[in-house]
Structures are given as structure tokens and as C-alpha cells.
Chains A and B, each alone.
Chain A
């Protein structure tokens, strides 16, 4: 029977959770890298034993760890993330120029075809690529250098590049997103970039419809339909049917359209999941009820998924990289909370149970479907 491996990054280490295809009973290992922040932990689609972890602390900076045996053993690889050329300035919170400074890696995205190739989205926002299993990193500087960088500004978490989507039908196409700059697309494998934010509106920037400056929280793409993108923005859930060329709102009947993660069902590309959060100042669920919302119509019509989730006195958040979907049938849905719970549904969200309840605050959740 096939199984799954859930990869969880927390404020104080990484945890690896495995189960067979029933997803009933879990074996949990960790903490790996205890005491370090693990912003992201992910695995290669090509070689499921190849894992990568972004490990950092405010004191000692950044490490990248690599495992070649599914997370049993780890080795540090390269951590020299050096901006190409003179980094220049972006906007600080008050709009004044602020020099670009590397702080940490937020997101690692392995290549769809080569376990030794992966991308890193970093704070202050930039995209790096490694083609030697993480030993060395080169910036894809056309993104930061395309002309609007001086107008990018940090969100509450920093000026972070958190989303990297690789188009399985076109190896030249990459979509990324930055808080708070917006979404960008390259059609030449990362050499040149252009903003794809038409249709977004944000009242926290002087021109709400500007081409850059939007606080995009996460974008999801289904591999069978790469031109259709779903976005959870600071406020608003958005959809594009032309690879980001234009966006329209699909928040519909959500109790709040503020939130962080967004994910797509493995086998139904029109079924999407979000976790509404009360507001930008109240980072906990509306009415203190932890509810995943599912739309089976590609947005606008949403249903609350509550079976097994706390429906009173709940004040946790679910961060942007903390939701994942496996590819079993029925597909599993997973998310982690700032309260340290990791919830799993083995039936597409119809019911939930906690794999674990008392981890450090969860930063990221990924899942691998094992052969």
C-alpha cells in the first residue's frame, strides 16, 4: 500500500510524520534541528528520498539541510545567498528607501524533473537557483532588476518571496509571489520577469490598482491546468484563467476573505481550499471556529468544513506555507497551526483529525505521496 510523508517546519525544529495509505496511524520523528526555525521543509517529486530544509535563526542566519534518505539523516549544504551586483533599495515600512539585506529562506521549490535542481525564495525578496543539490546558489537577478524593486515593501513578516510555481507543461514558465510586491511571471526560465497583478486591488498602497505593491499571501496551481491560478491575497481570494494575465475575485460567501494558505484538490482542479482568518489585525478564525472552506466550483461558492476541527475558543492562525495536499484517492488535506496542531483529512476535507497537537508553532506543511 502506498503511504504519505508529512513534512512539518516549526519555530523550533522540523518533524517528519509518516503513515500508510489509510492515514490513520502516524509515526512522528523529530525535532530535527531542534531550536532552529524551519521556515520550509520539502521533498523532490522525482526522488522522494531527497528532502531539503530551510533552517535559520535570527542569531546565526541561514543553513540549508539536505537529506538523501527520506529525513533519517541530514547534511548541511550551501548557505551563501549573495545578491547579484549592487543590491539597491526597496521601500521600508514608512516608504523610505531601505537597502536590500538577505535575512532568510522562506520557501524551497524542487525542480519537477531533477532532484539536484531547486529554487529558493528569500527575504529580502529574491529568487535563487541551485543545480547541484543545494551546494551553490545563483540569484535569478532579472526578477529584482526588472525595474519595480524600489517600490516593493515588506509585509508584516518581511519582504519575502514565498511562492514559486513551476509550470509542468512549459519548463520556461515560472510564477512567483512576494509580500508585498505581488505576483510575477517569467516565460524564459527566470531570465526576465513581468508583474502579473492586473485586477488586484489593495487599499494599503497609494494607487490601489498599481502594477506592484500588492500583498499576495499565496498562489496555487493545479498541474493539469497551469493557466488557472488561485490566489489568497492579504484580503480577497482571486482567480486567473490566463496564467496571471488578469485576476477576478472569487471570495463569494466566505466569512472573511483574509487568510494565508490556498490549495487545490489533487484530482479535482476546480476544488480549492482556504482557511479564513478574521482580519489583518486579528490573526485568528472568525467566531473562534477553525474552519477550512472548500469551493468545488473554482471559487465564489464555499462550504465550511468543520468535522473534527475545534468550533469554539480557537484563536490559532494557519500560515501561508502550512497547507498541503497528497495525491492519494481520495486525496488527503493537511494543515498546521500557530498553536502547534497538525490536522489531516483523508477524505478531501470532509472530516479531520489531529496528527499531533502540541508542536511548536507551525510554519510550513508539505506532504509527499510515497510509492
Chain B
């Protein structure tokens, strides 16, 4: 089970107050987590990754285990603590006003 922490704008959109829990088959990577997240919540398509290129949107960052994973390969396996559900995969809106 993967725990995903969404930023406030997206939590309100999916109508969840806390974390989102995902069941994955296969390796847990940024891509597989986001694929599963978008499958569970289709309204998130295009809001974290570009609709066409599937690249991370510029003002979105990915953190886990106190590390910035934003610039890691989307196919790199996530840290063990995230894979085992001990730590959340955090989707964060960049600090850029608002």
C-alpha cells in the first residue's frame, strides 16, 4: 500500500481530507504511483503531469523521506519506506505565492 499526500487544492478536488492510499501491482515508481492515482481519481489527469508529455508540471514537486525526488527518473523505484507504506509520497505545490 502506497500512501500519497496531496496538496490542499487537489485534496479539495478529490474530496479527501487526509492521505490517499493506493494498491499497486509491480514496482512502485513515480510513474506507477501517478498512474494509479489518476486511475482512482480521473479528475487529477493533467493537474500533476502534462496531458500530452506526462512530464511533471513546473510548479509541482515530489518529496519523500525528506528528499526531493522531483528530478529523479519517473521510472526509478521509490524509497523502501514509501514502498512499505511507512512514509508518504508527497505531491507538493511549489512555494510561489497564491
Interface residues, chain A, CB within 8 Å of chain B? 33-36, 57-63, 76, 79-82
- Of B12, B46, B51, B57, which contacts A35 at CB under 8 A? B12
Judge whether A80 and B51 touch: CB under 8 Å.
yes
Please count how many residues in chain B sit with their CB below 8 Å of the partner chain's CB atoms: 20
Chosen A-B contacts, 13 in total, with CB atoms closer than 8 Å, are A35-B98, A36-B9, A57-B98, A59-B93, A59-B94, A59-B96, A60-B10, A60-B93, A62-B46, A76-B13, A79-B45, A81-B51, A82-B51
Taking the closest CB of chain B, its distance from the CB of A135, in whole angstroms, is 11
- The CA of A327 and the CA of B59, in the complex, are separated in Å by 43
B21-57 interface with A by 8 A CB criterion: 43, 45-48, 51-52, 57
- The CA of A34 and the CA of B12, in the complex, are separated in Å by 8
Known: A59-B57, A79-B46, A82-B51. 19 other contacts (CB 8 A): A34-B12, A35-B8, A36-B9, A57-B9, A58-B96, A59-B9, A59-B93, A59-B94, A60-B9, A60-B10, A60-B57, A60-B59, A61-B47, A62-B46, A63-B47, A79-B47, A79-B51, A80-B45, A80-B46
Nearest to A34 among chain B residues (CB) is B12
Taking the closest CB of chain A, its distance from the CB of B59, in whole angstroms, is 4
B18 interface contact, C-beta 8 A = no
Set of chain B residues within 8 Å of A36, measured between Cβ atoms: 9
- The CA of A34 and the CA of B11, in the complex, are separated in Å by 12
Set of chain B residues within 8 Å of A62, measured between Cβ atoms: 46
Set of chain A residues within 8 Å of B85, measured between Cβ atoms: none
Judge whether B43 and A76 touch: CB under 8 Å.
yes
Nearest to A58 among chain B residues (CB) is B59
Judge whether A61 and B96 touch: CB under 8 Å.
no
Set of chain A residues within 8 Å of B8, measured between Cβ atoms: 35
Nearest to A81 among chain B residues (CB) is B51
Set of chain A residues within 8 Å of B12, measured between Cβ atoms: 33-35
Judge whether A63 and B13 touch: CB under 8 Å.
yes
Nearest to B43 among chain A residues (CB) is A76
- The CA of A278 and the CA of B4, in the complex, are separated in Å by 49
Residue of B9, B48, B94 with most partner-chain A CB within 10 A: B9
- The CA of A34 and the CA of B98, in the complex, are separated in Å by 12
Nearest to A77 among chain B residues (CB) is B43
Taking the closest CB of chain B, its distance from the CB of A297, in whole angstroms, is 45
Residue of A57, A60, A62, A63 with most partner-chain B CB within 10 A: A60
Judge whether B43 and A59 touch: CB under 8 Å.
no
Judge whether A63 and B57 touch: CB under 8 Å.
no
B83 interface contact, C-beta 8 A = no
Judge whether A59 and B46 touch: CB under 8 Å.
no
B60 interface contact, C-beta 8 A = yes
- The CA of A82 and the CA of B60, in the complex, are separated in Å by 20
The interface bits of chain B over 59-77 (1 if a CB of A lies within 8 angstroms of the residue's CB, else 0) are 1100000000000000000
Judge whether A59 and B60 touch: CB under 8 Å.
yes
Set of chain A residues within 8 Å of B45, measured between Cβ atoms: 79-80
Set of chain B residues within 8 Å of A82, measured between Cβ atoms: 51-52
- The CA of A35 and the CA of B8, in the complex, are separated in Å by 9
Taking the closest CB of chain B, its distance from the CB of A77, in whole angstroms, is 9
Judge whether A63 and B93 touch: CB under 8 Å.
no
Known contacts A35-B12, A36-B9, A60 near B51 by CB under 8 Å? no
Set of chain A residues within 8 Å of B94, measured between Cβ atoms: 59
Set of chain B residues within 8 Å of A59, measured between Cβ atoms: 7, 9, 57, 59-60, 93-94, 96, 98
Set of chain A residues within 8 Å of B96, measured between Cβ atoms: 58-59
Set of chain A residues within 8 Å of B51, measured between Cβ atoms: 79-82
Judge whether B60 and A60 touch: CB under 8 Å.
yes
- The CA of A79 and the CA of B60, in the complex, are separated in Å by 18
Nearest to B52 among chain A residues (CB) is A82
Set of chain A residues within 8 Å of B7, measured between Cβ atoms: 59-60
Set of chain A residues within 8 Å of B13, measured between Cβ atoms: 63, 76
Judge whether A63 and B9 touch: CB under 8 Å.
no
Taking the closest CB of chain A, its distance from the CB of B42, in whole angstroms, is 8
Set of chain B residues within 8 Å of A76, measured between Cβ atoms: 13, 43
- The CA of A57 and the CA of B9, in the complex, are separated in Å by 9
Taking the closest CB of chain B, its distance from the CB of A159, in whole angstroms, is 18
